[in-house]
Amino acid sequence: MSTVKEPMPLTIYLLSLCNAYLFVGASMLITVSALIGYELATDKRLTTLPLALQFFAIMCSSLPASYIMGKFGRKIGFLLAASVGLVGAAVAIWSILHSSFYGYCVATVCFGVFAGFGNYYRFTAAEVVSPINKSKAISYVMAGGVIAAFIGPNLANWSSNMFGSHPFAGPFVILMGVYVLSMCTIAFADLPVRHAEIQANEKIERSLAELIFQPIFIVAVICQMLGYGAMNFVMSSTPLAMEAHQYGIADTAVVIQWHVVAMFAPSFVTGHLIKRVGIVPVLLTGAALGFVSIAINLFAPINVANFVIALVALGISWNFLFVGGTTLLTDAYQPAEKTRAQGINDLAVFSTVTLTALTTGTVHHLWGWQVVNLLALPMLGVTLLAIIWYWNTQRLPHIQSA
270-281 residue pLDDT tens: 988 998 999 999
Q: Residue 41's pLDDT is what?
A: 82
Low-confidence residues of the chain: pLDDT under 50: 1-4, 196-197, 401-402
| CA–CA separation, 113 and 173 (whole Å) | 19
3-state helix, strand, coil in the chain (%, to 5): 85, 0, 15
Domain ranges of the chain: 10-194+207-393
Enter the CATH code of domain 10-194+207-393: 1.20.1250.20
Question: What share of the chain in percent tops pLDDT 70?
Answer: 92
What is the model's pLDDT at position 196? 47
- Cα 165-256-38 angle, rounded to 5 deg: 40
Q: Give the H/E segment covering residue 169.
A: none
What is the separation, in whole angstroms, between the first and last Cα of the chain? 29
Q: pTM of this prediction?
A: 0.82
pLDDT in tens, 119-145: 999 999 988 888 888 888 999 998 888
Average pLDDT, the chain: 87
Query: Taking the CA atoms of the chain, what radius of gyration do you get in angstroms?
Result: 20
Burial of residue 163 (CB within 10 Å: 0-12, 13-18, 19+) is: middle
